[in-house]
Structure 1
Amino acid sequence: MPGKGGSSISIKNKWTKTKWLMADRRLRPLVPETKRFTRSSLNAMTGRYKMVYFKPTTGTGGGGIARIVRASRKFRVKKDGRTFEASSTAALYGRLNKIARGRSYLLQKGIYLQTSRGKPFDLRVTMQKTAAGKWVQSVMFVKLGKKNKVVTNYHQGGKLAYLEPTLRRSGYSGAQIDRYKKRLKTMGLQTARCFDRHAKRFKELGLDVALDRDGRLWILEVNTRPNFSALKSLGDKRLYRTIVRYGRQYGRTK
């Protein structure tokens, strides 16, 4: 692993980062079960969960992700706006293996996301380091999914929104929202400390956090070079300016 000092580092391999989270006693319960894609892990995961996500081990912006839903005796798979069905796990494995084309993929327990006005959403918690090397939870926002899309990402047609109004529209009270904000901040700090134990040169992290329909929080993945530019799409530029201000302290922004 890289040593101290120098510019911020980025780890693209989702499996590496997921293993770090799962090895942390506090964070392990917050991570949906995740396995490397093999014939046996596909059998196990689709047997255990009604919904499973199939995602490339490397890749950004939500590209290449498929959602597998078990429906009675068949599997319905949705990827990039297209849907196909498989009548058995063997047939499903064959189709997914073709999509993978020898590249590494992961299987993750599907989380049924909370919705706001009918649109599924997840949360982004951004952690950034100050010039003094202290982790700060700089901004939090929501990624509102487009109807019928597999993921909520901005680059897949999703929209960014503010945390509090979105949660209010989902029926949460002011007190509940405050509790979620505290929990998200704690989750962000615990994740940052976990990543610091593996390499000291992380300067920014973007946690993608699911809020499920039972009100439980899950860490879906952690980005080590989160995209900032989509924040410009919000009417109020304060969140974008905050991220830029912190980014300046470690040379990401000017």
Structure 2
Amino acid sequence: MTKLNTSKWTKYKLLRKSSKLSVNLPETAWLRESSFWRMIKKYGEIIIKPTGSYGGNGVIRIKKMDSSTYEVQDGAAKKSFTQYSQLNAYIKKKALNNNIIQRRIPLATVNDRPFDLRVMVQRRLDSPWEVTGKLAKVAGKGFIVTNIRLSSGKVVSLDYALKYSELKKMRAADLHSQLDKVALKAAQQLSPYYSWVRTMGIDMALDKEGNVWIIEVNFAPMLELFLKLKDKSMFQKMKSFHKSKPINRVN
């Protein structure tokens, strides 16, 4: 059996096989001119990103502003297209570089800045998956991506983000529980296809109504992100999982 690649698109298709996870997956498609117009018409705002890159590189947002104007945001820079031909040419160029298109989730915000979540799920040899850490990544001013390096954003605890967001009236314990449940389902769904993986960094999100979303799954997440939290206990727990003898990875 040929080993599956680890692209965002492949992992999305595997997650989509689970009927239990379908409600937690924002609609995603391979970028084509046809898929772009279908999804921008359906949602009004979409994200385009390379299927093989990480760290927020190459992520752009396109938003329909009115009947003839579309705003494209790349990093903190914005530009507008008012002619279909110009926007089509832009999309075709992006499509040549193996990009996927995804519904833009209306992320919950802290001080008007969107945040998403990194949920760490790990397992030891012959043991079940376990959630070992959660944190929130708050985008820098004017950015849509929450990557700390790219947007000069910040890392905060999930409880801090919830306390100062639109979700502050919801029970934090319930949101934690929902995130854990969905993250574990995602790991269980992917693990049969990637038997060598024992650590997954699942990028998740809460929208303004508190719904849980899976943005993407990383197999080589930076544990050091958790050192930015005052409480280092999650980092220490995650590191302990790496001390057990690793499963041989097939490259």
Cα-Cα RMSD: 2.1
Q: Deviations over 1:119-162 (max 9, x none)?
A: 21111111011233321110011111112112011222221110
Distance 1:89 1:194, change over 3 A: farther
Report the Cα distance in structure 2 between the residues aligned to 1:11 and 1:129, rounded to whole angstroms: 21
Q: Which amino acid aligns with 1:77?
A: V
- Deviation of 1:24 after TM superposition, in Å, equals 0.8
Q: Is 1:82 aligned to 2:74, yes or no?
A: no
Query: What SS is found at the alignment partner of 1:229?
Result: helix
- Deviation of 1:250 after TM superposition, in Å, equals 4.7
- Deviation of 1:241 after TM superposition, in Å, equals 1.4
Distance 1:117 1:83, change over 3 A: closer
Where do 5+ consecutive residues of structure 2 fail to align?
none
Q: Is 1:56 aligned to 2:50, yes or no?
A: yes
Percent of residue pairs identical: 27
Q: Deviations over 1:190-231 (max 9, x none)?
A: 111101232322201111111111221111111111111222
Q: Which amino acid aligns with 2:203?
A: D
Q: State the match for 1:234 in structure 2.
A: 229
Q: Which deviates further from its counterpart, 34-43 or 195-204?
A: 195-204
The answer as to whether partners of 1:124 and 1:207 remain within 8 angstroms in 2 is yes
Q: Deviations over 1:155-189 (max 9, x none)?
A: 22221110112212225458711011111111111
Quick one: which of 32, 52, 74 aligns to 1:38? 32
Q: State the match for 2:239 in structure 1.
A: 244
Q: Which amino acid aligns with 2:194?
A: A
Q: Which amino acid aligns with 2:193?
A: H
Q: State the match for 1:7 in structure 2.
A: none
Q: Which deviates further from its counterpart, 124-133 or 215-224?
A: 124-133
Quick one: which of 127, 141, 152 aligns to 2:146? 152
Q: Is 1:138 aligned to 2:113, yes or no?
A: no
Q: State the match for 1:195 in structure 2.
A: 190
Q: When the two structures are superposed, what TM-score results if normalisation uses the length of structure 1?
A: 0.89
Where do 5+ consecutive residues of structure 1 fail to align?
4-9
Q: When the two structures are superposed, what TM-score results if normalisation uses the length of structure 2?
A: 0.90
- Deviation of 1:93 after TM superposition, in Å, equals 2.5
Distance 1:45 1:174, change over 3 A: closer
Moved over 6 A (4+): none
Quick one: which of 87, 101, 104 aligns to 1:110? 104
Q: Deviations over 1:12-38 (max 9, x none)?
A: 410000001111110111101101000
The answer as to whether partners of 2:166 and 2:208 remain within 8 angstroms in 1 is no
- Deviation of 1:246 after TM superposition, in Å, equals 1.5
Q: State the match for 1:16 in structure 2.
A: 10
The answer as to whether partners of 2:33 and 2:91 remain within 8 angstroms in 1 is no
Distance 1:39 1:243, change over 3 A: same
Query: What SS is found at the alignment partner of 2:191?
Result: helix
Q: Which amino acid aligns with 1:64?
A: G
**Higher relative contact order (Cα pairs below 8 Å, separated by 6+ residues):** 1
Q: Which deviates further from its counterpart, 79-88 or 55-64?
A: 79-88
The answer as to whether partners of 1:143 and 1:153 remain within 8 angstroms in 2 is yes
Q: Is 1:65 aligned to 2:59, yes or no?
A: yes
Aligned length: 245
Q: State the match for 1:26 in structure 2.
A: 20
